[in-house]
Chain A
């Protein structure tokens, strides 16, 4: 019996030839990440071990992203304590405006194919886009990794999802993941690892692959992972990652489920208000007004997302009564968008840019609060009631193209029906 990708990665890091789904292994971790939301607890636990040198410090980054910039003194003080800890104990640090953890880790060259990466955030599954096992953990776990460079893992069962056909213009990885949430339900693949394969994945640019893996967190996945190809290797090399250990599934690997999904005819999808698995095709929605459009987050704040919006809004204006805010996923993406002229295009259209970070997702920067009765269309990954701090606003989720098309017309709009809505960058 062969092994899946995550079984191979966990076996290699546990010093074993083979591991079986369901067993617990103690494995060497390659990299750890701590966000500002979990930093207080994590630092307290690490300090409880005293001042001993942290041999894992040069494989750890603290990321100031959720409170970027800090909305109040309490958050600012958390950031101060993180900077002091990083300086004293020798970890890496990404400061406010540098970007979201799941963007700055790959951009910083901190991970590569075959790696085992942990982070204090459920969307750490994003690293699977680079053939790395990435998973979310808590402060105690990070402390254990800092002290021993190891952690226990229950080897997850793997689900293989074959995405056949190539996405039509105007349809993106976001639409696939929303469709899968409709099929499996939120937490529907709780605990499982997902291997995504197929023509649709091969055709995707890296930005879209990151969206595909990232959004698996809403399915409850412990990991979502792709096989690497030339695009993966070129991207990693360009970002200074160490030598990859490409890891592929065996043909006789054991899967708990196999699904084949034809995405060639998929329409843009939406998660309607309050539930991430309340899914409908954009073409099924009529005359739904929106007031607030958001592009950003670790799911869809990348360059291709900003390009989608600029393609639709170039030389045009937001609909009357609509406001729009963009938060690039990182400073590097902000700079790339600046150089391409995308920021000028969107600013002229009436959009505003805010600091790179998690602000468009959770509203905890207090600058992106919707008003009572507002309908928000967002590229974020969660739309629970009150997610943007106002329980009297509705949040709908869609691709950057769908968000921009809706901001242009003032109604939920299929991007395929507006000029520029079928743009696709072919890298």
Chain B
């Protein structure tokens, strides 16, 4: 497995029930491109978050329950890539966002996030299901299934299928 299953970065905190259609897509801003949305995504939830992530060269979003609830446009994952969000850690994900993230090669990690504070240094290892925070192991969860790890390590479902058209990767 490649490096995409190991992710490091600073924690950027968001709360519960983050709706990516509202905060990270052009669903209600027709005509706005991914680049436009990436400059202001989540600004109402955490003012200036996009520029703060960029100033550190990237980061990891940390959220509570139901990150990406509702219909969750796939565009949200393109915006997150553009913002240099390297992974999303949340207590739980909206179903469609979880699919979209994996399909688009954005690592997602489901665990209790209550103890993580803004700016802490996170290190995720998806293949072992471990999360380190400021050097300490704070979470160990069952790793995602091998199929999902394979898709993530290829950078998404379509790159995966271009490599393995019959889904036989093992």
> Which of A's residues lie within 8 Å of B, judged by CB?
23-24, 26, 41, 45, 48-49, 121-122, 136-141, 143-144, 147-148, 150, 152, 187, 190-191, 220, 222
Q: Interface of B with A (CB < 8 Å)? A: 66, 69-71, 73-75, 92, 94-96, 99-100, 103-104, 144-145, 147-148, 151, 156-158, 161-162, 165-167
Measured between beta carbons, the chain B residues less than 8 angstroms from A49 are 158, 162
Do the beta carbons of B66 and A190 come within 8 Å of each other?
A: yes
Say yes or no: B103 contacts A140, CB within 8 Å. yes
If over half of A's interface residues share one DSSP class (helix, strand or loop), that class is named, otherwise mixed; here it is: mixed
With contacts A137-B99, A141-B103 known, what are 14 further pairs, Cβ within 8 A? A23-B145, A45-B158, A122-B96, A140-B74, A140-B103, A140-B157, A147-B165, A148-B167, A187-B69, A187-B94, A190-B69, A190-B94, A220-B69, A220-B95
- A190:B95 contact, CB within 8 angstroms: yes
Measured CA separation A136–B71 after assembly (Å): 9
- Taking CB atoms, residues of chain A closer than 8 Å to B145 are 23-24
Return chain A residues, CB-CB under 8 Å to B144. Answer: 24
Nearest A residue to B165 via CB reads: A148
Count of A-B residue pairs with CB < 8 Å: 68
In the complex, what distance in Å separates the CA atom of A152 from the CA atom of B94? 17
The reply to whether A144 and B99 form a contact with Cβ atoms under 8 Å apart is no
**Whole-angstrom distance between the Cβ of A122 and the nearest chain B Cβ:** 5
B104 contacts which chain A residues (CB < 8 A)?
A: 140
User: Can you pick out 5 interface pairs between chain A and chain B where the beta carbons lie within 8 Å of each other?
Assistant: A23-B145, A45-B158, A148-B161, A152-B147, A190-B95
In the bound complex, what is the Cα–Cα distance between A152 and B73 (angstroms)? 18
* Cβ contacts under 8 Å, B100 to chain A: 138, 140
Contacts of A139 in B (CB 8 A): 74
Q: Kindly identify which residue among B69, B95, B147, B162 contacts A222, using a CB–CB cutoff of 8 Å.
A: B95
Task: Out of A23, A121, A148, A191, name the residue touching B95 (CB < 8 Å).
Answer: A191
Q: Which of A24, A148, A152, A222 has the most CB of B within 10 A?
A: A152
Distance A389 CA – B165 CA, assembled complex (angstroms):
43
A152 and B100 CA atoms in complex are apart in Å by 12
